[in-house]
Every structure is written in C-alpha cells, then in structure tokens.
Structure 1
Amino acid sequence: MRVLLQDDSSAHQFSEQLLDIGNGKMQIDNTNGMITLPENFCTILQTKEELVECVFPNIIQNHRSHDWLAERSILAPKNIHVNAMNFQIQEKLPGEVITYKSIDSVMDEDEAVNYPIEFLNSLEPPGTPPHLLNLKVGSPIILLRNINPPKMCNGTRLAIKKLMPNLIEATILNGKAKGENVLIPRIPMIPTDMPFNFKFAMTINKGQTFQICGVNLEESCFSHGQLYVACSRVGTAHRLFIHAPDSKTKNVVYQNVLD
C-alpha cells in the first residue's frame, strides 16, 4: 500500500522487485547463497559512512528539525550493528554525552551468588536498552514499553529535549501526539525470555514507514522475510539506501511458510 500511495512512475517496478524479494524469487548465487540487489532497486553504498551521510545529510544543521528526524531512519538486522550506528551518528551531534547505567539485580536473592553483577551488566536481551545508555540532547529515541498508550507506547519515536538524572524530557515525533512534550521516568524492566528473572534500570522489526530509509547489511539478514520488511519501509527506490558490500546479501525465505 505504501508503494501505491507514492506519486512516482517507478513505484510499480519497485513493488514488483519487493515482491520478488518477499517471495524468494531473486536469483541466488549457488557459490555463496547470496542475491545481487538490482541497481534500480535502491542506492547501493559501499561504506557505513556513506549510508549515514545519505540518510542524515548535514545532521548538525538539520537534527533540531523534528519533522526531518521523524521521516528517516537506518535499520539493521542485529542490535550490535544498531548500537554501533547509533554511537557513530550521535558522535556527530553537538553537546555533552550523558550516560545512564542500568541497575541490574537477580529477583531471587538465593540465585544472586550464581549471577554476578558484572555478568548481568553484559547481557542485552531483546527489548531492553544496553547497560550503558549514552544520550545527547537532540538524539532520537524509541520507546521499548507501553507507558501511557496510545500516546506513549512501544515503538513511539521521540527526540530528547532535556536529560535529568532519573527523568528524560522528550518531544514525540510520530503518531497522534506528535509535537507533544512528555516525561520518561526510569522504570524496572523484567525480561521473560531468560533462564532467570532480573530487572534493570531499532532493529528491522522495530521499523515503521519512513520517507527516507537506510539499511545496514554489513551482516546479512538472518530470519524469514527480514530483508523484505526492511526494504518495504519506503515506497520508492530513490528513497532507499542500502549498505551491502559488492551489492550482495542473503535473502532468507522459507517457501513452506508462503505455501
């Protein structure tokens, strides 16, 4: 649907190429199991620096525009690459870095001796921030929990306005409450997919619809349909920027899922 809504003569071809990716019809090189992304499907970039510059051009001058921030993002398959990209982009912003540390603890005191604090600090379960969360005023952030739905829910994007020891003031970038200033407190977060319970203080699947989208494929997608989902965040080829060495990447599609 997002493709059909674009006033672009190439949108039809882009939609057909998207379907070929989603249906696993792109020709696969049997020697390495990879596909070659078509030149007219997106803008192929050979370095992460090029990707950042294409998606966030002149970021020092533009980052204070909330409309500009809201319409663009870079996606990656794994958190390790997301964190690296966030660090790289945030370094370009002016201002002081404020670090928030998680307060990790085992909920069952009898198990505390088996799980040292240093070990807990090293974990990064899905849906949780890192132990050391480095932020700057002006940085875009995304909520990982429902705090006050529908205004502040999982996936809401915001821009930081003020950083305080136990509170963040931010401006909502998307949704019906766009432009509203809100306060985000420290809250306990208790993952349920770990072998034990503990609490502490934007991958592809967290993506939304954007005007400009970058995809970092220095490491290929690893789950069914992940490449299709990433590329479908925009509606036309000229708004999609992909960092893929030699224009090659893996496209994981399980045909039995589609049948």
Structure 2
Amino acid sequence: MSNGTLNDNSENIQIPDRCVANINSDIVADTYGDMIKNKQYRIASKHAILSGRNIDVDEINCRVINSLDEETQQIYTSIDSTETTSDEGGINHEAILTEYLNTLNPPSLPPHELRLRKCAVIMLIINLSISKGLFNGTRLLVLESSHNILRCEVLTGSKTGEIG
C-alpha cells in the first residue's frame, strides 16, 4: 500500500474478502472465541483486532477479558494525587481534582482501572528490561497476578517462552 503497488489509478485499494467482517458478525467471538474455548491462549498473540477509535478498543478489550475466568481477575488502579497551590494572598487552590484525573485515558498510558485475568494477552507500553525481552510492544500471557505483581510468559521476540 505505502509503495503504491496495491493502489489503482484512483488511489483505491482492494481489501481481501477474508479481512471484511459481516455487519452482523461478532468480531470478538470470530477472532478469539475458538482459541479461548480450546484454551489455546498463546495463539492469541498472533491475532489482533484493529480499530480507529480508542473507545472501541476499550470495549473490545473488555469483552475479551470478560470471556476469561472471572475468578482470576485482578483490578489495578492508578495511584494519583494532586498538589495544592497557593497564590500570593495565601489562598489554596487545588490544581486538578483526582476524580477528573481518573477519567483521563491518554493513548500512551494504561487506564485508571485496569482489569486483568489469567490467560489475558497483554502488551507492554514501556521498556522494562531490554536484555530480558521486556520492551515496548512485547506481548505477554498473564500466568498469575497478585496485588502488585504479574507473572507472565513472553509471547513475542527473541525471549519467547521465557517467564518474566
């Protein structure tokens, strides 16, 4: 596409039929249903549903997580605080309300509330340890989760199969 070989003279491209879903289809069930039913979670790292809007991505992620074992769910929330400022007259002004901060969902950060379950496929959005294969874009399979730690299997890259 980017080199112009798939474009026609009107700059249109042909999308293969296998990439177009029926308007009434359930894209989450069609993409991940059999993998989850057959417990083939590692295969999920080779599949993705692309969307142009973050709100749609959030809904898709929620549906996929909801299809996994509810008893293994951990909810992680962001730690946030605000600083109080005072002007020359000594009047305190709160910079930003914490409640407002919790509604923000910037694309480069996880949401305020992150729900994970065992066997969820997740993607790192920061470089944790390049030497251990834990860098931005690495896909991982959640094996165990607790209050403040995740045990995951690396699914992509040179460290595939290692536990991190």
TM-score by length of 1: 0.53
Asked if 2 retains the 8 angstrom alpha-carbon contact of 1:59 and 1:92, the reply is no
Aligned length: 156
Asked if 1 retains the 8 angstrom alpha-carbon contact of 2:144 and 2:152, the reply is yes
Return the letter of the residue paired with 2:60.
M
Given the alignment of the two structures, is residue 45 of structure 1 paired with residue 22 of structure 2, yes or no? Answer: yes
Equivalent residue number for residue 20 of structure 1? 7
CA distance in 2, matches of 1:18, 1:158: 34
Equivalent residue number for residue 89 of structure 2? none
**How far does residue 24 in structure 1 lie from its aligned partner after superposition?**
7.0
Return the letter of the residue paired with 1:157.
R
2:100 to 112, 116, 119: 119
CA distance in 2, matches of 1:24, 1:94: 49
Gaps of 5+ in 1: 1-13, 28-36, 183-259
CA distance in 1, matches of 2:117, 2:139: 15
Gaps of 5+ in 2: 87-92
Q: Taking structure 1 as reference, are residues 115 and 138 closer, same or farther at Cα in structure 2, changes over 3 Å only?
A: same
1:57 to 10, 30, 33: 33
Q: Taking structure 1 as reference, are residues 53 and 118 closer, same or farther at Cα in structure 2, changes over 3 Å only?
A: same
**How far does residue 40 in structure 1 lie from its aligned partner after superposition?**
3.8
Equivalent residue number for residue 158 of structure 1? 140
> Which SS does the other structure have where 2:63 is aligned?
helix
> Which SS does the other structure have where 1:128 is aligned?
coil
Larger Rg computed on CA atoms:
2
Query: Of the two structures, which has the highest relative contact order with CA contacts closer than 8 Å and spacing of 6 or more?
Result: 1
CA distance in 2, matches of 1:143, 1:88: 20
CA distance in 2, matches of 1:39, 1:180: 36
**How far does residue 62 in structure 1 lie from its aligned partner after superposition?**
3.3
CA distance in 1, matches of 2:147, 2:31: 31
**How far does residue 18 in structure 1 lie from its aligned partner after superposition?**
7.3
**How far does residue 47 in structure 1 lie from its aligned partner after superposition?**
3.8
Asked if 1 retains the 8 angstrom alpha-carbon contact of 2:108 and 2:125, the reply is yes
Equivalent residue number for residue 47 of structure 2? 72
> Which SS does the other structure have where 1:56 is aligned?
helix
CA-to-aligned-CA distance 1:158-181 (integer Å, 9 cap, x gap): 010111111111111100000111
Equivalent residue number for residue 90 of structure 2? none
**How far does residue 16 in structure 1 lie from its aligned partner after superposition?**
9.5
Return the letter of the residue paired with 1:146.
N
Equivalent residue number for residue 4 of structure 1? none
CA distance in 1, matches of 2:16, 2:29: 19
**How far does residue 15 in structure 1 lie from its aligned partner after superposition?**
10
**How far does residue 55 in structure 1 lie from its aligned partner after superposition?**
1.6
TM-score by length of 2: 0.81
